[in-house]
Structure 1
Amino acid sequence: MITVKDLDKIYENGSIAVQALKNVNLEINKGEFVAITGASGSGKSTFMNIMGCLDRATAGLYILDNETIQDLSDNELAEIRNRKIGFVFQSFNLLPRTSALKNVELPMMYAGIGGKERRERALDALKRVGLEDRVDHKPNELSGGQKQRVAVARALVNNPAIILADEPTGNLDSKSTQEVMGLFKKLNDEGVTIIIVTHEQEIAEETKRIIGFRDGEIILDETMKQGLKENN
């Protein structure tokens, strides 16, 4: 699903160059449930942005679902984002005056899908996340956990190759956190490939594989199996 080879990212600020990623090599297979961890400044957010086609690597190879990414134009990257990647953010990023249903329909509007199909697919996505009885509710009428489930439904609606979730439980209380993580586990059991960026170790340990970054390099790659860690 994802292949990364010799990936570097350098940010230049005048005469100062900061290497955010250094020779990163990684493979993530279809159907995996992965946590990307690391302290602030470790490179995990930079890596997430490149995986999500929101930024470009300075050097190296990135292949997503059999498509080579690094040489694509900005318009082609935007198409890849809409077609192959579902995003879930810490702040939900829902339109405040718009119903749950219309929020979920939004990616399909960009994809040019007709109104009838948009509604059917959005209703199905909301049903998958257990919110079929909240389709007409606006974000201010939903709990934090429900808002994030709407965001997950929106991420699912175009049947993406992967879901990228950036600190998806960061604004949630413990009950809503477990609700959302349970949803991710259910979706992964259904075959959805999920990558979560988190600084919370207890969240990372609920996934099936932990990849740790420090100073722009991968320092940890552990498979989680039945509560046990297996070093790769």
Structure 2
Amino acid sequence: MSVLPDEIWRRILELGIENSKLDYKDLCCISISCRRLNRLSSEDAFWSTLLSLDFPQRTDGASRSMSLYSPSKNLYMMRFEKDKARKLAAHQRALLRLESQVAVHAKSLKDIRLRLMEESERMKTVAQELSNSEKIRQASVALNVWQPEIIRGRQKQIVEQCGVPINSRIAALEMELRLCKQQISALDKAYKGQQRRLDVSKEELSSLKYHPLRDYKLTGPGRDECNMKRKKLNGCSK
């Protein structure tokens, strides 16, 4: 290592940065390997290149004047921390949005479940009433057939308890029963769809949860511009 002059090491670091082989983490790791590389990796030219690639700024007047008097490494650190804070804030907003979605889906699921229970109870009541009406109709038909007086009197009593035409009542109950079944089918389908949406939101929320060991990486348009610039530099060097 001591055989190679500083110019060779500078060129190695320069090519590594231009070819996207070295980033700010690599320069920091190189800087703690030995005094010589610590001195070389801290040179302003390398950090200036990284600064222009990772943070292609849209600088205002204050930032531009600061860049004239501050080392590029310090500027990189400042912009890195600012960008990191911005991304953490966006991350928190995304978390809150997903938590809100989970709460909304859970509430909708609860409402659909309650409606399903109510509709099921209603269907049971209608089915029971339809069964009783069928018995009344059978009793009405049986009145026209000869039978013992005791049984005939009981059937007559059952028929007289119904104040509406039995056939009309049975038709109305059958229609109501069909409507209940359709409503339950639609609610069941809505319940399954809502459950899927809730599961998806919970999965997204779980994957978005902060983890202290998660690696911090640059994302977004700035990183895309950085990659495009590095590709252009690679093409020129070839």
TM-score tier, shorter chain, comes to under 0.3
**Larger strand proportion of the pair:** 1
Structure number, greater radius of gyration: 2
**TM-score of the pair, normalised by structure 1:** 0.20
**TM-score of the pair, normalised by structure 2:** 0.19
